[in-house]
């Protein structure tokens, strides 16, 4: 079987794990094949800048070949890293042009984390579905409206283009690529060797805050109202009750709130209550039922449905993953 060449394209201040996580998945696949008496199937290369030691966001230097080497390669898979260096990379016309040319010669293209912004800046995601790190989803949507962003997915495949969520999701993506290439048995063996999930339960939403954004100028009209609601999530926060607090009619309030915040009052209230419940679950305080009451859900079943709908995991699972030891 012909060797599949996996080329990682980086740059100064790429995220270390965006490169080394997927790199190790493919290297471990080779190791396991060799141990089983088979030939390795992946050739691995890292290209960045002018070559030599290139800094990552962690400060660790990675030895790289010059990015210009890509011009004479025909990779099976071309993978782009993310990290702080993405901000410069999406403005680097030479890098984007090189990426476009390299992608045209590759069987498939992939990005890890915020590397999706680099693919999008090169026009490689136009008309496609993609994902990226949760903290850059708003920016991504503003910059690249021609891309359909699916922010909760750990990884997304759209034809020959694959994208992953934040940082360690690159490992999940690489396992999926190994499975596509060599079947589930090898992918499962690699996951076991690396002590990771072959398919991570839940989506990216469980790791991201639902209420991360500060108020904009347009939202200031409702800032006091939202602060009051956040202080007492178990209060009556139905649309009529909120409209009465704002001194507005129900329909006018609902329209104005959505225009100012980008979401309906009901969705905002649910997100705020989930955020309150998450903080309680992380602290380890109280039972699931008591958290449901104090967070304003009324009962644990209603909270469970909201968690599954918005985070993709049940409250007890969320607590087991993120709760403090008590």
What are the tens digits of pLDDT across the range 49-75?
A: 999 999 999 999 999 999 999 999 999
Q: How far apart are CA 104 and CA 295, in angstroms?
A: 51
Q: Taking all residues of the chain, what is their mean pLDDT, rounded to a whole number?
A: 89
Model confidence band, residue 212 (pLDDT cutoffs 50, 70, 90): very low
DSSP-based three-state secondary structure for 314: coil
Strands 77-80 and 61-64, bridge-based pairing: unpaired
Q: Are 322 and 281 in contact (CB under 8 A)?
A: yes
Q: How far apart are CA 204 and CA 127, in angstroms?
A: 22
Q: Which one, of 38, 29, 37, 65, lies nearest residue 49 by Cα?
A: 65
Model confidence band, residue 174 (pLDDT cutoffs 50, 70, 90): very high
Q: Are 9 and 69 in contact (CB under 8 A)?
A: no
Q: What is the pLDDT of residue 25?
A: 97
Q: How far apart are CA 67 and CA 92, in angstroms?
A: 13
pLDDT per position as a tens digit, 76-125: 999 999 999 999 999 999 999 999 999 999 999 999 999 999 999 999 99
- Each as own residue / partner, the long-range contacts of residues 95-101 (CB below 8 Å, 24 or more positions apart, any chain) are 95/11, 95/67, 96/121, 96/122, 97/122, 98/67, 98/68, 98/70, 98/71, 99/9, 99/70, 99/124, 100/124, 101/70, 101/71
Residue 169 pLDDT greater than 60, yes or no? yes
Q: What is the pLDDT of residue 207?
A: 58
> 153-177 burial, b for 16+ CB within 10 Å, e for fewer?
bbbbbeeebbbbbbbbbbbbbbbbb
Structure tokens at 297: 């859900």
Specify the higher pLDDT residue, 185 or 64.
64
pLDDT per position as a tens digit, 297-307: 999 999 999 99
Confidence (pTM):
0.70
Tell me the average pLDDT across 13-25: 96
CB-CB neighbours of 2 under 10 Å: 7
């Amino acid at each position: 079987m012909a060797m599949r060449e996996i080329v990682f394209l980086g740059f100064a201040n790429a995220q270390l794990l965006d490169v080394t996580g997927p790199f190790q998945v493919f290297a471990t696949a080779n190791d396991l094949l060799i141990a089983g008496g088979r030939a390795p199937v992946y050739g691995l290369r890292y290209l960045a800048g002018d070559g030599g030691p290139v800094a990552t966001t962690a400060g660790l230097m990675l030895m790289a070949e010059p990015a210009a080497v890509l011009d004479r390669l025909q990779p099976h898979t071309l993978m782009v890293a993310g990290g702080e260096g993405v901000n410069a990379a999406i403005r680097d016309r030479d890098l984007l042009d090189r990426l476009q040319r390299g992608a045209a010669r590759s069987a498939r293209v992939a990005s890890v984390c915020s590397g999706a912004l680099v693919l999008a800046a090169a026009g490689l995601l136009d008309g496609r579905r993609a994902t990226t790190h949760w903290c850059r989803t708003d920016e991504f949507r503003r910059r690249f409206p021609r891309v359909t962003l699916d922010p909760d997915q750990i990884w997304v495949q759209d034809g020959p283009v694959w994208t992953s969520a934040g940082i360690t999701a690159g490992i999940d993506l690489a396992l999926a690529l190994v499975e596509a290439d060599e079947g589930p048995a090898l992918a499962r063996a690699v996951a076991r060797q690396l002590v990771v999930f072959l398919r991570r339960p839940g989506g990216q939403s469980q790791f991201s805050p639902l209420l991360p954004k500060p108020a904009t100028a347009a939202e200031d009209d409702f800032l006091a109202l939202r602060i009051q609601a956040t202080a007492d999530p178990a209060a009556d926060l139905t649309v009529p009750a909120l409209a009465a607090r704002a001194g507005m009619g129900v329909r006018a309030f609902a329209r104005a709130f959505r225009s100012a915040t980008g979401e309906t009052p009901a969705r905002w209230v649910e997100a705020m209550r989930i955020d309150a419940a998450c903080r309680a679950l992380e602290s380890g305080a109280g039972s699931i039922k008591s958290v449901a009451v104090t967070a304003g859900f009324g009962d644990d079943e209603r909270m469970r449905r909201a968690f599954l709908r918005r985070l993709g995991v049940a409250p007890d699972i969320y607590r087991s993953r993120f709760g403090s030891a008590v």
